[in-house]
Amino acid sequence: MASLDDRYRQMFTKSAQAYEEAKGLFPGGITHQNRYASPFPVYFTHAAGGLKWDLDGHEIIDYVMGNGALLLGHAHPQIVAAVTAQMAQGTHLGGNTQFEMEWARAIKRLVPAAETVRFTNSGTESTYLALRLARAATGKSKIIKFAEHFHGWHEYALPDQGNSPAAAVPQAVLDLVIVLPPDLSAVEEVLASEPEIAAVILEPTGAHYGCFSLRCDTFLPALRQLTEKYGALLIFDEVITGFRVSPGGAQVRYGVTPDLTTFGKIVAGGMPGAAVAGKAEIMDMMAFRGDPAWDNHRRIGQGGTFNANPPTAVAGITALHLIATEPMNQRADALAERLKAGLNTAFQRTGIPGHAYGVASMVNPVLGVDDHCDRQYCDLTYDGRRQAMTPPRCGALTKALLTYGVHVMGGQVFMVSAVHTEAQIDRTIDAFEQALRDLRAEGMV
């Protein structure tokens, strides 16, 4: 029987050729660190709904879904129509538009804590801006973040985020970021002893789209109480969870109101766009006041050539309207439950230890260990999960699934959309079972 790598090479020959060309164009041959793959990444040509196609013409069920941006699937007809119409009217009008106001209203309708909004172009920009606002509003300089939690690739986000080393980050910056385990007693100890904490920032369902999951229903309210007690701001990074775990994000699902929220991905309807929202008194640290001392020296400045550009704005307006008025979240969640149950059955049928869990429409598999969690949250320790989902194992699972026509993000999460079909879910379950058998044959599980 051919090895997994041999089957992968034989199936994706045009992608192998493309990668050889790309290595002369891009550092490492890639344009996003998560697209690195050995022996080469697969190249795609087009997509629709829950499917996409690669250079060799294979139909692939997609669970990367724009790195989580496409709750409504690829090329949703209403979004395509809105963006196409706007493109003919101009991509950048060089000034204010009513589109940006309607987009902000769409966010505010779904997220009560979003008193005012500012748009950016990426989740990284949003978390960077939110941290600056927190320091400006509190007059304090330090930030608490949690181990493995990902907040983009700016310097304040890099310490212990799991995806990127904090290489070449000045020590002076690293000294302003306190990394803690997601442990409330550790948080309180630091808040009580360190007067310079401006804010606590976190992914509200746990690091890396819930792979390192939190008991959100208890952890988040308790964290809110601690930050209020000690005068630190609470920032929810809802770039992943915003409009996915509920139409109003994790904060609405769990009834916890942060001071600031960062959004990306779904907020822009599949286009490049993001936002920061929160309490008006904090957000107003960016507002001009007509006072030269404030405007020129203390105000938080924010640029961004393509902030709220009209095509992105209309995509965001359309997507958020669909989420607000149609059962998009319910559909995606129901399909994710079907997938999660099927993956757990696949573990049982193969006799391979493991389980799948996850919140809402995110499904996280773990190979090699079953902690008998409730399938929503996983109680594995960080070290336990790292030992179970090593990079070689994640890479092998991704490759094996691709050879059966399924693409999962990093081997660690299925991002389910509202437009996947039950037939696609069932095909995925069959592919997963066969992939498990292949990994066992390869000695990976």
**pLDDT band at residue 327, thresholds of 50, 70 and 90?**
very high
Average pLDDT over residues 356-368: 95
DSSP strand pairing (406-407 vs 59-62): parallel
SS3 177: strand
> Angle formed by the axes of helices 4-11 and 391-403, to 10°?
50
DSSP string of 359-423?
Answer: STTEEEEEES------SSS----HHHHHHHS-HHHHHHHHHHHHHTTEE-BTTTBEE--TT--HH
Model pLDDT, residue 161: 86
Average pLDDT over residues 315-319: 98
Average pLDDT over residues 163-180: 90
Model pLDDT, residue 309: 97
| CATH level 3 topology of 4-74+327-441 | Aspartate Aminotransferase, domain 1 (3.90.1150)
Does the pLDDT of residue 321 top 80, yes or no? Answer: yes
Between 163 and 73, the more confident residue is 73
pLDDT digits (tens, 9 = 90+) for 385-436: 889 999 999 999 999 999 999 999 999 999 999 999 999 999 999 999 999 9
Model pLDDT, residue 333: 98
Separation of alpha carbons 417 and 47, rounded Å: 13
User: What count of residues does the chain have?
Assistant: 445
**Domain residue limits, the chain:** 4-74+327-441, 77-325
**pLDDT band at residue 34, thresholds of 50, 70 and 90?**
confident
Measured CA angle at 140 (ends 286, 179), to 5 deg: 110
Does the pLDDT of residue 163 top 90, yes or no? Answer: no
Does the pLDDT of residue 33 top 90, yes or no? Answer: no
60: number of Cβ within 10 Å:
20
Measured CA angle at 210 (ends 208, 212), to 5 deg: 80
Separation of alpha carbons 273 and 103, rounded Å: 11
Q: Is 387 left (phi over 0), alpha (psi -120 to 50) or beta?
A: alpha
Separation of alpha carbons 76 and 96, rounded Å: 27
Residue with tokens 């709220």: 308
Which of 24-38, 287-301, 324-338 comes out lowest in average pLDDT? 24-38
Average pLDDT over residues 86-94: 96
pLDDT digits (tens, 9 = 90+) for 102-135: 999 999 999 999 999 999 999 999 999 999 999 9
Model pLDDT, residue 252: 98
Model pLDDT, residue 417: 98
**pLDDT band at residue 308, thresholds of 50, 70 and 90?**
very high
| CATH level 3 topology of 77-325 | Aspartate Aminotransferase; domain 2 (3.40.640)
Model pLDDT, residue 2: 83
Entry pTM: 0.95
Model pLDDT, residue 162: 80
Measured CA angle at 243 (ends 241, 245), to 5 deg: 55
